[in-house]
Every structure is written in structure tokens, then in C-alpha cells.
Structure 1
Amino acid sequence: MLFMVGAAHADAPRLRGVALVVGEADYAALPKLGNPGNDARAMDDLLDKLGFDVTRVLDADGDKLREKIARFVEDAADADVALIYYSGHGFAAGGQNYLVPVDADLSSPQAAGADVIEVSQLLDRLARTVPVTIALLDACRSELFPAGLTVQPPGAPAPLPIAPSGLGELRGPVPLARPGVSADSLGMVIGFAAAPGQPALDGAPGEENSPYAAALLKHLGAGGYSFADVMTMVSEEVYLKTRARQLPWVNSSLRRVLQFGRPIVDKDPDEAAIKQGRRDLLLSIAATPDATRAYVETVATSQAVPLDALYGMLDVLGVDTGKGQADLESQLREGALQLKALLAQQPGAVKQDDELRRLSGLADRAQQEGAIGLALKYRAAASARAEDLAKQRDALEDQLKSDRLELGQTFAEHAQTAMLNFDYRVAAGKFAEALAQVDRWDEALAVRYGAMQALALSRLGRQSDEGGALAQALALYPHLLSRASTAGLQEQWSAIESDYGIALAISGERSSDPQPLEAAVTAFQAAAEGSGDDPALRAVALSGLGNALWDLAGRTGDAPMAERALATYREALARIDRQQDAYGWGMMQTSIGNVLQTLATLEGDSRFSFEAIAALRDGLAALGEARSTTDWATTAGNLAAVLISGFNADHDRAHMTEAFGLFDAVLELRPRETMPLDWGITTINLGAAQLTLAEADNSADEVKQAAETFRGALGALPRETVPFDWALAEAGLGHALVDLGTLGDQSVLEQAIASFRAALEVRTRAAAPALWARSMNDLGWALGMHGVDIGDKAMVEEGRSDVVEARDYYAAQGQLQDYFAQRLATFDQILQAWS
């Protein structure tokens, strides 16, 4: 509804409006346009809602367009307001503006002049009969008409050059005072899509309307505003959306305030508020001084921020436009930087709550429209909603935490039972599931379950290294140590460091490279130093340190290192109360027994063996009380092996009887099907016991049984997984075959030589000098025996050379001088007899 307002809106009479909407796009001689058809249809719909009687013309040729204009002028005779909207090509020439039908012939000035339609003539005709005339010209959509184009309107004395772009400002006042115009006329408004001489943009690709049409559609229905304010909002809207590249221009001579009545009602009050905020911004921009506008445009361009958002931020960011120009630019730039940061930090998470999504969407819309104050209101409402949701989520999270911890405990209990059944694969998987349940909720529990997962993988790797379990454990430990340290879990950190040392030691046992064992020493030392006042933690760390030192001593033949390992074990034992910690005490006694046996070998002193037997028996008893079947089996196997040394020293067959009983018990607890590596190591020791007894009985059948036992162990011990244990089995097989040769079966000596050489591929002088020397001596003796058997003097000489290398190593250690003197004397007698 249209109202002409004087003193009060209530007294304003309702007016009748007519409208002619023209969209020209499908040109024959000029570039085709994309949006005039869309623009015209949308304007038709809007004006119809505003109460206009609308005539719409699309892609009309010159005759049809003139016919529609003539009929419109006739229909407008009894109207109060006549509105023309034109979207298409137009140009200025000779101070006049012209509309171009789609079939305009521009081949000659005269043809062009005959086809185009002069705007001022149309407006003059309407002004004579209609109180208010409004013309909205979205014309001159192309940057340039063809160069040198001219037009000669009818009656013009000569062709007129067409302006390269844009329509022109009408000459003189709006035709209110022209001859023939009624004295009752209230004036005219002419709106140009662009300033005089500037082209009007057709819209970016993908946009349905031109910038001018989009602005008209957005604001023309704004009730409660004068038409002058509406056109101001339209102008500023185009200015913002085109980033100041296009600024509409208005020529108005209205003598009364024209309003388009009540606005088109928005059912959604939030949508209405955003539109109101946008319109307030546009009117404030219109009142902004030119100097300020220039600064805003410069800063928006340099910082790549939207013009409308920057204008909207002025007050919010505290930019004082009343201060001098010197302060203004710095304030604007600071505001632009804050705006740029704000836009860059928009969250990308999808909101699940409908109300949060609605409020955030409204805030985004308001912010995009430059209504920053309104956007802040919606953000505050969204935060209030978030606070309510947070309280609800807190309650849910408390329950969820309890549920997750309960699930984690269930998985962990399953894992613990699997550990008792030596099923470390299942245990590792279930501890991983337990960790996943508690990971977000309880840091200490997460570290604990992670440590147990790594421990299970480490033990699985010790059993069979299924699926690279040991490598997985070694990869987990550094992360767990870092996590425990960050969380301040010192006791857990020390325990994990010890477990890490154990995993490194297992890796070292399977490698000819001493680096993993050296790393294990470092880990155990760190664990001991970090154990604080906790005697149990320190005892575990010291035990691991002793184990790593013991293993290194066994490889290198370093007796002082073995002594250091023994001292470490005894320090740890002193910190353990047997009554309170039977398990820890028993494990430490086991370790003491192991290193004592190493010293017996290195020093050649059987007293160490009997001390080892006593320590291992004490350890076995304590572990039995602690019901630790896994470690009981380890200690029992070690005790059985040391009992063999005891038998060699005192020839008491009770030692062998006890040893075989222990081996049977251990192999029952370590079945080959589930624990192939542990089974293989135990079987090596069993073979050594069988061979020792066979040598005592001088029984070829018993030696053959021992050889088969060693072969069984080799089948369970992959060289790539446990190289030193595999080499030990090869060496044991070699010894058994040499014994068979001694007992008369010379055919097996070649196999014995092959076994010793295979062992030496692992027992290199660099990796394990003591083991290398032992195998070199064994290989040399086998070569000597076989050389004598087949009459190969060179082989005997090769054997003697190998024995000499072994002798030199032991001589440097101050060991076995008499033994090697006798052995080399035997070689010399053989070679002398040969000569």
C-alpha cells in the first residue's frame, strides 16, 4: 500500500500505484545479459505484494516495448504513483539517456536513433498525468559499447557520440516545472543503478540478480521509511556488496514524503531484527563523512575484510570518528585487524543442538549484514544456551565417566586373568580396550592400563614375538613414560621405566648388537634413581639393572661386570622383606643365583655353582609361596641348569635327578604350542643335562638322545628372533655330535663342524667375545678330530689355529692356561706324528 505522508501517517490517504517492469537480456547486436529476466520477474513479484498493478515485459523488441510503454502511460492516467523498472542495456548521448530494445539496429546512427527509447520523453509523458513518477534504471550492463558508436535521434541535426559507459545525469531539474506538467504534481524520483558515466554490474557468476536489483528487492518493501531513505539504503547496499565499485545515484524532486506503507511482514522476528539492523547500518553509512568512507574503503581493501562488516565494527571496536584524521586511520586499521582475526577464527565444528545452531546462524547472518551489535546479542543468547547445555552435559559426563571406568575395569580384569593363563596376546588386546575406555577420563588409570598393555606385549614377544609384539611394546614405552611424567605420576613412571628396561633387555638377548642391552642399563639406572623412597620400585629397578649387566658380562666375559651385577642384586635383596614380598625376594634370589653361575663359568670356580644352587632353591621356594607360575618356571629352569654344573663338580647323581624333575615341571608349564621360545630355551638346558649324564655314563644312546633334544630346540627357536639362543642350541648339538665322534661314530663330525660354524655366525668376536672364544675352541677341536679321521693335515692345522685364537682370548683374561696348554700339546703330538 502506498501513502503520501504530510504531518502524520494516520492522516495519509491510500494511493493507487501502477508499475511497468522491463527486462531486456537476449540482445542481437550487443552482449547478452544474464540477469535482467530474473530481475524483472522478482521485481514484478515484489511490487505486486506492495500493492502495485504490474505490467511485465521480457525481451521485447522495439515495437512491442513502445506499445507496452504507450499502454502503460494511458493506464497510469488515473493512478497516484507510476513506477518504471528497467533492466537491460542503456546509454547516454547528447545529454539524454536511452533504453535499448533487444532488436535495436546499431549499424548506423539513424537506425540506432530510430530504435532506442529516450528516457526523458517517457518521464515527461508520465509527469503530465501522474502525481508521482518513479523510474529505476538498472541499465548500461556492459563496460563499453562498441568504440566510435553514434546515434542520431529523430530531429537531431547530426549523429551524437554514445558515452563509452554509464547513463548520464539528467540536464536541469527533474521535469516538475516543465510546460504541461500539472501544478498538482508532487514530483519525480529517478534512480540510476550507477553514478553518471559508470556501468551497472550484471552480477557475479552464480548470482541470480544484479547488485542493484538485489538491493531493491531487499529494501523496497521496508515500511516505516520515507522513499528517500529506502533509496539511500538501496544505494549503500549496492556500494557495500560491490566493495565500492558501484554506487547508485538518485535524482529526486518529491515535495512530500512518500512511503510504501506497512512493510511486508516477516513471520520470524529474528529475520525482521536482522533486516532492521542492516537498514540502520546503511543509513548510518550514508551519514558517514567522505573522508571516513575513503579510509574505510582503503583499509577494507588492504586487509581483505568486508566493507559492511568493517562499518559495523566501528562502534564495537571503539573507533572514534569524531577524532582527527590522524587518529582515524590507525583506529580503523586496528579494528580491521581484529575483524580479520575474528573472521579467520570462526569455529568449524557442526553444532548438534537445534537452538545453538539457530542462534549461531542468526549471529552469523547479523555479522555478515554488518549488524555487529545484534550479532553480539545472538552470541550472548547462544552462550546462555551453551551454559544450560554444559550443566546437562556435566551430569551426563559424570555418569559417562563412571560407565567408562566400569567398562575399562571389566576389560582389565579379563586381561589380568589372561596373563595368569600366559595368554599374553589376549591380555594385550584387552588392556588396549581398557585404555580406550578410560583414556579421556582418568589419566593415572590410562597410564596404568597402557603400561600393562606394553608389559603383555613384551611378554608375548619373549614367548614367540607373535606379530612383532616386542617391537610394539618398545614403541609404546617412550609415549607412556612421557605421559606419566607430564601427569606427575612418579611411581608409575619408575615402574614403566623398569618395564621398558626389561623389554630392551629381551631385545638385546636376541641381537648381536649390544646397544639394546646398554640402553636397558640406562633405563634401569634411571628407574632406580627415580624410585624415591619406594623400596619395591627400587628393588625392581636394581633387579633389572643387574640382569642387563649380567647378560653383558656373559657375552663379553667381563668378570668385573658380573661382580657389579652381583652387588646390584644383593643391594636390591637387602631392601626386600621376604615375609611381605615373597615374590620380589624370590626373583632377586633367582637373579643372584644366575650371576653366581656366570661367575663360576668365568672364574672356573665351582664354589660359585654351589652358592648359585642355594640361592636358586631359596628363590624357587619363595616364588612357590607367591604362586607366580611364570617366574617359578623360569627359576626352576635356571636351577636345573646349574644343578648340572654341581654334578660336574661333585658327581652327585642326586643333582641330575633333581634337574630332570625340574625340567619336566617347567616344560609342562611352558608348552611348545603357546610358548615356543621359552619351551626352546628350556629344551636346550634339558639337552645339556642329558649330554652331561651321557658323558658320565659313556653312553652313545644317551648322547644321541641329547642330540635329538638340541635339534628339537632349534626347531622352536628362529634365528632371526632369538639369535643367541639359536646359536646356543647349535653349539649344544655340535658338542653332542663331537661326543658321538669320540665314541666311534666319526661320520657325524662334519655335522658338528657345521653346527659350530653356524653358531659363530651369531657369536662374533665383536658382539660376544667370550662366546666367540668358546665356540672357536669347540670348532678347532672338531676340525682336529675330523682331520685325523679323514687324513687331512690341513684341517688339523686349521683346527689348531682356531684353538690358538681361543687360548689368546682367555690368556688376556688370565684364564684356562693349563687347559689350553694340554689341548695344544695334543695337537702338536698329532702333527709331529704326521710328519
Structure 2
Amino acid sequence: MTAFKHWLIFILICVSGSFHASAEEVKPLRGVALIIGQSAYAHIQPLPNAGQDARAIGKLLTDLGFETRNAPDRNAKALKREIERFIEDAEGADVAFVYYAGHGIEAAGENWLVPVDADLSSLDDAATRLVAASPMVDRLKETVPVVIFLLDACRNSPFPANALLKPDAQSAAAPIVQTGLMPSRGVALIEDQPAPVENVGVVMGFAAEPGKAALDGPKDGNSPYAAALLRHLSASNGTAFGDVMTMVTEEVYLDTGTRQRPWINASMRRLLYFGMTPEAGDKDEAQITGERRQLLLTIASLPQMGRRQVEAIAKSDQVPLDSLYGMLRAMGAATPKDPAELDRVLRAQAERLKTILAETAVLKRADPEIMHLSSLADRALAEGAVATAVSFREQAKQRATTVSDALADTEASLKERRLEIANVFAKSGETYVLAFNFAAAATDFAKAFEQAERWDIERAARYKILEGESLTNQGLYRADSEALKEAIEAYRQADRIISEADDPANWAKVQTGLASAMKTLGERDSNTETLKEAIAFMETTLSKRTFENASLDRAGLRNQLAIALWKLGEREAGTLSLQRAVGVYESALTDLPAGYAPPARALIENNRGVVLMAIGQRERGTQNLEQAIDAFELALTTFNKTETPYNWIMSQNNLGQALRYKGERESGVETLQKSITAFRTALAMLPRREMPVQWASTTSNLGMALWRLGEREVGNQSLNEAAVAFSAALEELDRKEVPLDWAALQNNRGLVLLRLGQRELLPASLMQAVSAFELALQERRREVVPLQWAESQNNLGTTLLSLGQREPGTVSLRRAAQAFEAALAEATRERLPIDWATTSTNLGATLAEIGKRDRDTLSLDRAVAMLRDALTENTRERVPLGWVETQYYLGNALLERGRLIGSKLDLEQARTAMMSVLDFVKPMGDAAQNAHLEARIDEIDAALDALQ
């Protein structure tokens, strides 16, 4: 059996090693390589790195077992001869590998290699004076099963910007792409191209993405692309070539700080492996490199939005991209699904990383082994190999424990060595923090404190602060309330050590940390006492002189206070705590120095807008909603799609929400249309596959705005679009994972079905709406989310009212009344005046219909009283649409009571109410609606005539 039979499973490129497929040994295959390095250009810019890169890659391929031919600094004739000889010699080989480093340009749909004797005149006869890449690939694949062509030639064009290239005398001149190369026709799929050998595939790699320029390396060094190839092309036996090139791509991406990302075009029909025995040498270095490679593969699998988020944080917080990606990988299954929470977590970790990187304290007589292990841990961390860094810290701790047991008895030596041991535990704790193992970090910091407490109280206090921070994070990320209580105790212990007068910076850090732990614990408690205690503590602390002189610390603590007030306000009736939160956010903004961290300022502005929006929902009028809109628009002047993509999306979505709430209170549609535009703008940047929950949430918000717009339109286009939006959003939500979000979508879907059912005069849509609201109420339980429960109860009642109006009897009407009564138990006038008025209107309409059918004056009396009371909130000035709806139902109730008891006053008041409704809606041009109102007025007039 020949080796080629095994290509059904894999292709092995190996001379120095072997690989097993199932149970049979596979013979090594023959690989040939042509290495072209063009540095010494005579007439255009020389490229010193290109020759160095080619020599290094040539040696690597020789070590891998390739028969390597080197072609440095070749003019056009010599380069063409080298290529011809290589093509001839490659016949019968299993793999042909070409690496080109030098100038390269793209024109007329072809990538051209530039010989060292090229000048501007070469462009007039490119076929003779330059070398086209794709014909070389075409000829090689006729005789070689696998062709790999790597072009490290994506540098800027060396020719003038307006230069044109003519492939030959008969061809038209074509412009030269000034930056980068493009995909080559040499890697087209080979399925329909007959050849004398079994064509397994072609791989063509570019040092940068199409149309992008690659970067040169340092003097006497290698280009980023070549350096990555040298590091990863010799990946240990069993690593697929595709994975190797993925590692190369992400290595360059990290090494160049996102400025360059290689690109590969492959038409392989089999898996391809570079076989080489596992790397020998330093096992510690191999451990770092091994985790580094896994990190690179993980980065490659990240969605684009996730990349942008990490890149933005690394740039704004000025921390190594490698380390930040390493921390993201270390989170694993614990990675927050909510991008806002992930952004907060990564930024917090970035701050910790900056602190660690900034520490330069070195002990005078550090233990050599501890120094070595610590150095390896630092190196691993810089490479993003967080798990390996933890391993080295563990070894350093073991050594520190040994040293601790053998300490000298002299006090001077004892102090020095104890502090050294404390430092080892502290470093281990810092590394555990970056690995998101906060419990282990807290234990290490506690041990560091024990070692340092007697000898260096300032250092010991710092370790205690770090212990408190770790315990707080353990409580935050692991829902561990006991850890939060331990954090509070750790901070209080640090507070007893640190003097406000002597060490104001660390004292302020303790107060802020203690406030954070108390606030987080308060948010977890079902009662409000802990939250109120945290608020009182923060307000007292902010009044102290230390915070008066530390604007950034004060801004941070005020931000914590505002969040606590916001959370408290969500649990209380009225808006007092929410109003206080807005004031604290405004003070926090004034604390920030001019020009300081614009994204931080924008985030506070966004949060202020959210609280203003919450107030606006509870209050009459639109003043707070308008201020919220201004806050979101201001935040959006700082956030942008490139550097802060998620924050930009978040503020865009919030803007849409505030516009919707405002538009609901207006008679026109302009604000609602702006709301729809804001949501669609956010969705254009929200990838559905990568961020399904966030996409579903924003899509649901869009559906709500379309629903509100559809209510004001004659046709059903917007309502149908809303139904599509809600159905699409439901496809992305798992009821078990996000039950309340799922319930909100069911509620919103029911609203659209309700309105469609009301317009179609058919019960089918109304019955579907009832089912949707009942599903929502299975998760929106009163004891969990009372206001949302009340909202769905009101919606269910509205649907049952519509059904009851179409059915004989009062069964559905009485169910509707029960639902409205339930909603009013939570949606009180004090807590939500507008919602209270809406539900009161609905209940009044229901009672009026029951009174009409049962000839029950008590129900009609109660209906009239409720509707008149609702009008004290649903005023024409504040809520015009709510006002007109309440007036309509009041007119109906007065008509029925006037008929039943023969009251001329009721009938006259009914006519006044109906006329005011007609005057309001007549300009809207809805003929059917106007005709209905005119018919009702005629009924009232007939009833009045009957009393004469």
C-alpha cells in the first residue's frame, strides 16, 4: 500500500519523523522548497529584512526535511531560471513549498514578484521584467499533489502612486494596487482541472489581509510574518497545517498590536500535517509555547465583536493584548454572556494587570530559584499563557515554603526572608486573579499578609486590600454572599491598620472597596437594609476631607453610590432615590478632570441617562425622558463603532428606548420613527450569531417601537413587522437560561397579536394573544418581578376585554376585570401614575360593558368613577393618546348609565366626552374611526330625544 492511499485520512509531510494512521506505519513523503529573498534592490527601496527572513525560513524547512533551494537577490532572468529549475525538480515530489520575501505588487488581477533589477520601465513589459505568481502555481500543481506558496510581500508598492502596469504589449495598462496583494487565481478550486497527478490542493498565504500592507521587522531581525512562521511552522507532530497557519495569523495579529493580520487562501481536499518530533529543549519554555499556541487557536475562534471588545479595552487601558486574551481564555465557561458585564470584567482585570506590570520592587537577596520561577511566570503572563503562569507561581510558593522552614534565626535575615516569602504569595495571588480564581487569590493574599504583618505594615495593608478585592470579586462572579461578608471584614481590618492622615491613597482605596462589597451584598439581599447601610456609609465617607482632595477616588465612590441608589430606587415607590442617583452621577462627572478618560465619562453619562429614563417612565410628562435622550446622544459622541463597539451599541439601544417612551406620550409619529431608526442602527452592528441574547433584546425593543407606530397607522404594515421581530427574537432566547427575557418577548408578541385581533375583528389572534400573556406570566411571577407581573396582567385583561366585547355573556369580561384588579395592586398611582391611569381606564371600560349587559348600575357607577379618576393623570397635555382613550370609554359608560337610569345629565356629559374625542381624532383622517364616533354621538342624541 502506498502512502497516497492514506490521503483519505490525512497528508503527512515529514522527513525527520513519522506519523501513524490507524495501525499502519506511513513512509515519510518528499518535500521540495524554493526560498526567494529579495533585499538588494538596485533602483527601488531595498528591503534588508527580506534576505534575513528568507535565510531563516530556508534553514527551518531544511530542518523539517525539505530539499531546499535558496534564491537570494535574483534579477528577472536569474529568478525565472530558478523558478524553471525548481518546477522541473519538483516533479514527482509530494509537496512543493515556495516562500517569497521581497517587493510584490498587484495589478491586472495578478500578483507580481519584483526582481532586484526592476525599475519603473519594468512595468511596461511585466511578463518579461517581473514574475507572475499564478502561472508558477498552475505549473507546480500539474505535477505536485500539494503546493504551498507563502508571499511575505504585502509591503507598499515601491512604484509611484499613478504608475500603470502592462502585462505585455497587447494588453491594456492597469493601475497598481498601492497597498497589499490580492487573492490569486492560482488558488482556484481544482475540482474541474484535469492533471496527471491527484491534486490534493493549493495553499497560498499572504503576510497581510488583501489590500493591507505588512510591516517590516526590527533591524537585524525578522518581519512579523517570518517570525511567526519560524515559531509555529515547526509545531509538534500531529498539528494540522491549517491550525499552524491559524497560529501564525494570530501571532502576527498580537505581535503587531492588531495592525497586521495574515490571510490564507486554501483549496485543500485533505488534512495536511507537518510532522516533526515534539520540541526538545527547555521544558518550561515549551510549556509556555504550548499554552500560547492554544491561546492563538482560541483567538481565531472568537467572533469579530468579541475581538473588537478586547482590542478596544487593550488600547484604552494600555495593557498587552496577549495577556488580555489570555485572561479571557482563562475565564472559560464562566465568561459572562452579557457583553456589558464582560466589558466591565475585562476592564477590571486590565486595571489589575497594569498594577502588576507596574510593580518593579526587587528584593536584595532574592532566592535564585524563586527569581527564576517568578521570571518564567512573568514571561508566561506576557504571552497570555495564564494557566502556565499559575503553575510557575505554585512552584515558587513551594520553594518559598521550603525557604520559610529554613529561615535563619537572626532578626535582620528573618525580616528580609519573610518579606520575600510574602512577595511570592502575593505574586501568586495576582496571577490567580488574572486567571479568575478569586478564592485562591484571596487565600494567597491572606498568607502574604501574615508573613508581612510584623515586618512591613504598609505592605501588609496592601495585601489585605488585595484580599478584600479578591473576596469581593468572588462574591460578585460566583454569587457567593459569604465571600462578600469576608471581604467587608478584610476591608475593615485594613481600615484599622491604615491611617487616613498618613496614607490617604490606600485609605481611600479601602473605603471604596468596602463600599463596593457592601453595595453588592445589598443588591443580593431581598430587603433593603443592607443597601441602605451601604448608601449611608458611602455618603459619610464622601464627606471626609480625604475624598474632597482626591477627585478620581471621589468620582469612583460616587459612581458606586449612584448605582446603589439606582438599585434602591427600583425597589421603592416614587422617584426619590432615582433622583438622588442622577444628582450623584452629575457630581461624579464634575469630579473627573477635564479630558480624563473620555470613555469613562461617556459611560457615566450613559448610566445617568438610564436612571433619567427610569424616572421618566414613572413620572408625568417627558422632561426626564428628554434629558435621558440628551445624555445618550452625548455618550454617543464619545463611543464609536471601532474602539468601543459594545458601548456604542448599548447607548444606541438606550437612545431608542428613551425615544420610544417619549413617542408613546406624543400624538405624532416622528419620535417613534426616530426610535425605530436608533434600534435598526444598533442592530446593524449587532451580530446575531455572536451575541444572540443582545440581538434578541434589541430586536424586541425594535418590535415594541414598531407596535406603537402600528397603533397609529391605518394599515397593519408596522404591526406585521413587529410580529416578525418578536418571532425572530424568540428564536434566540432559551427559556431556561433567560426566563425573564423570554417572558418579556412573549408579552410583547401578545401585544401585537392583541392589536391585530382588534383590527381584524377575528377571535383567533386574540386567543393567541391570551396564550402569549399566560406564558409570560408563568415566569413573570408577582413575588419575583411585581411590576412586570402587573404589566402582563394588564395586557391579559385588555385581550380578554376585546374577546368579551365579541362574545355573548360576561365570562371573558369578568376574567378581564380580575386581571386589571390584580395589575392595580402593584401598578399603583404613587409608583407608576401613567400605567395606573391606563389600567384604570381598562378596568373602567370593562366594568361599563359588564354593567351594560347585566343592567347593573353599581358596575356602571364604579366605571364612571374610575374613568374620571384616570383623567386626572391621563391629561390631554401630558398623555394625549391616553386622554382620548379614557374620554371615549367615559362617554360610553355615561351613555349606558344615562339610558339605564334615564339621566339627562349623564347623556349630556357623554355627548361632551364623545365630541372632544371626535375633535381630537378627526384631523388624523381615519374615516372609519370618525364614522364610528359620529354614530355613537347619534346614539346619544337619540337617547336624549327619548327623554324629552
TM bin (shorter chain): 0.3 to 0.5
CA radius of gyration, larger in = 1
How high is the TM-score relative to the length of structure 2? 0.40
How high is the TM-score relative to the length of structure 1? 0.46
